[in-house]
Amino acid sequence: MSSLILSAATRLLLPLLILFSFFLLLRGHSAPGGGFVGGLVASAALALYAIAYDVARAREAVRVSTITFIGSGLLLAVLSGILPLFFDLPFMTSLWYPYELPVFGKVGTAFLFDVGVYLVVIGVTLTIIFTMAEEEEH
């Protein structure tokens, strides 16, 4: 059963929620927010899309496997911890780019770690939601 109101609201809310999740991600490496909260908001937006339409259409809208999200997020998180080792610093020491970037502000390995967490949270949450929704459909 599909609802016309839910479908119309989802088309309006999905871009706003994804944009808000990016805002939380960008804000998080220097203030409250970050990869975890941003990833949850993005996952909630895509879960809403799956409820409004169906899981198959939601998977098509994502265009990337949830396992790819998890793997690339873990790779970025580990890379952010390994980078300081090349400068004879301890594992997970923060490295910072010396100049502020216009939208991002001060960027360093903490931001890279946050992006990794963002991708992992999206991947894990969507894997759980999509799997449960597909089981319910069958």
Planar angle of CA 27, 29, 31, nearest 5 degrees: 60
Using a cut of 0.85, tell me whether the model's pTM lies above it.
Answer: yes
C-alpha closest to that of 62 among 46, 73, 76, 48? 46
Question: What's the rounded Cα separation, in Å, for the pair 32 and 114?
Answer: 12
Q: What was the pLDDT predicted at 47?
A: 96
The count of structural domains within the chain is 1
User: What pLDDT is stored for residue 29 in this prediction?
Assistant: 66
Low-confidence ranges of the chain (pLDDT < 50): none
- Please tell me the predicted confidence (pLDDT) of residue 103: 79
Nearest CA to 24 out of 6, 7, 12, 36 is that of 36
Check residue 1 and give its pLDDT: 56
Domain containing residue 54: 4-137
